[in-house]
Amino acid sequence: MPLVAGTDQRVVAWLDGRAVRQAEFLHHVAAVAAQLPRGTAAVNLCEDRYHFLVAFAAVAVAGQTNLLPPSRARQAVDEVMGAHPGCYAISDRAFDASPPHLWRLPPLGPVDAVPAVPVPQLPGEQIVAIGYTSGSTGSPKPNPKTWRSFCASTARNAELLAEQAAAGSNVVATVPPQHMYGMETSVLLPLLGDVAVDTGKPLMPADIAAALAALPAPRVLVTTPVHLRALVQSAIALPELAGIVCATAPLCRELAAMAETRFAAPVIEVFGSTETCVIAHRRSALEDCWRHYPGVALRPQPDGTLVTADWFEAPVTLQDIIELLPDNGFRLCGRNSDLLEIAGKRASLADLNRRLLAISGVVDGVIFQRDGDQPGVQRLAALVVAPDLGEAAILDALRGAMDPAFLPRPLKKVDRLPRNETGKLPRVALLATLG
C-alpha cells in the first residue's frame, strides 16, 4: 500500500511559508530512512511538524514502528521505551537530559529540481505506530496501528473534510502530532489525502491567526475546545476559514455556535479514541447527535459500547454509553466511568462540568472523582480557574445548578488547570494539583 497519495507536485506541507511538494518530501524520507539506527521501534519526539512527518514516514519505510507516548515528559518517554526493548528516540532538538539512545534528525534543507521519486509501498499488515492513551482515566495503554487501518480511517476523514469544509485544504493544527487526533489530522491526512499542513504548532490566539494568514485558502483549523474557547474570547480576527475541526473533549453547543458566528465557518466535532481513531462526527452548533462512518458498527453493552469496523484488527470496547438512532446516528449518554450515583441520586460528570463552566466568571474548571476511602464510595472534587470569584461564591452558584449531593468538596481555586498539550487532564495531574 502506498505511503503517499497524489502526484509528485502535490503540496504536502507549508514550511515557513514555503510549499514542500511530494517529490521533495519523499527525497527527505529516503535520506532519513537510509541513516536511521538499527532497531525495532522509535519514539518520535520531533517538535517541528514537518520533521515529525518525515521521521514518521522514514521509520515506517525502514520497517520499524513509531512509538507515540502520551506526552513528551521524560517519565512518559522512559516508560514507553522501557516497554519496547531495542527502540531508540528521534528528535530535532537537544535536551537538557536526553532520553536513552537518542538520534538527532539531520538537517532537512530545501531541495531544488527534485526528480519524481518512486512512492514507497508498505505492507498493509505492518504495525507502523503504537499510540498510547492519554491517561485521563487511568494508566496509558498501548494501541498498535497497522498501515491498512490507518489508510482506511484516513480515507473517511478525508471524505468528511472535503464534504464539510473544502477539498484541497491547508491545515493549521494546535494539537501535537504525537497524539492520535493530531496524527490523524496533521500527519495522515497530508500523507494520504488532498491536504497540506502548516509545520508549526501555534497555541496563543495571535499565533494561530498568523499561521492561518500565512496559508492560501481554503484554510482549516484543527483544534481543541480549550483553544477554541480562547479564540472566541479574544479580540483576534482570523482570515477566511473553510472549517474548524474540534476534538479531545466534549464541545458544548454554545461554544460551537459562538465560534461559527464569530469566524463564519462550520465547526465539525469528531468523535473517536486512540483505540478506534475517528469514527463519527457532528455539526455541534446545530445537532446533539452523532453520525458514525459507513463501515463502523456500534453495539451497546452493559459497560459501554462495542465498536467494530472492517479495518479493525479486533473489536474495541469504549466506556461511552450510547443510544442508537436511524441513519448511522447515535446519542452519547455519558461514559460508564462518568455516571455517578450518590445518596440514591444519579448524574453524569459531563453534565456537572457543563454546569460549572456555565457559571459567569469561571474561565476554566473541572469536577472529577477522587479516590474513595471505601470501595464503591464516590467523592467529587473540583479545580476552578476564576480570578474574580471566591470559592464560596462558586459553590453558591453550583448549589443553584445541581443537586447538593453532587457538590464537589473540596473545591480549590487554581491559576490554571494541569492540561496536557491536547487540553486533556490526566488523572494523576489532577490529584497532584488538588494536593
| Domain spans in the chain, listed from the N-terminal domain onward | 11-288, 343-434
**What average pLDDT does range 276-300 have in this prediction?**
96
**Residue 374: is its pLDDT beyond 50?**
no
Give pLDDT tens digits for 375-402: 445 689 999 999 999 999 999 999 888 8
Instruction: Quote the radius of gyration of the chain (alpha carbons, Å).
Output: 22
Residue-level pLDDT at 134 = 67
CATH code given to domain 343-434: 3.30.300.30
CA distances from 390 to 241, 308, 359 (A): 39, 47, 12
Q: Residue 423: which pLDDT band, with cuts at 50, 70 and 90?
A: confident
Task: Return the percentage of the chain with pLDDT > 90, whole number.
Answer: 69
Residue-level pLDDT at 114 = 80
CA atoms of 36 and 59, how far apart (whole Å):
8
For domain 11-288, give the fold.
Rossmann fold (3.40.50)
**What average pLDDT does range 372-376 have in this prediction?**
46
**Which of 157-161, 352-356, 424-428 is predicted most confidently?**
157-161
More confident residue, 115 or 144: 144
* Averaged pLDDT of the chain: 90
Residue-level pLDDT at 373 = 44
CA atoms of 198 and 202, how far apart (whole Å):
10
12-21, 75-84, 220-229, 255-264: least confident range: 75-84
Helices (H) and strands (E) in the chain, counts: 12, 25
Residue-level pLDDT at 242 = 97
What pTM was computed for the model? 0.84
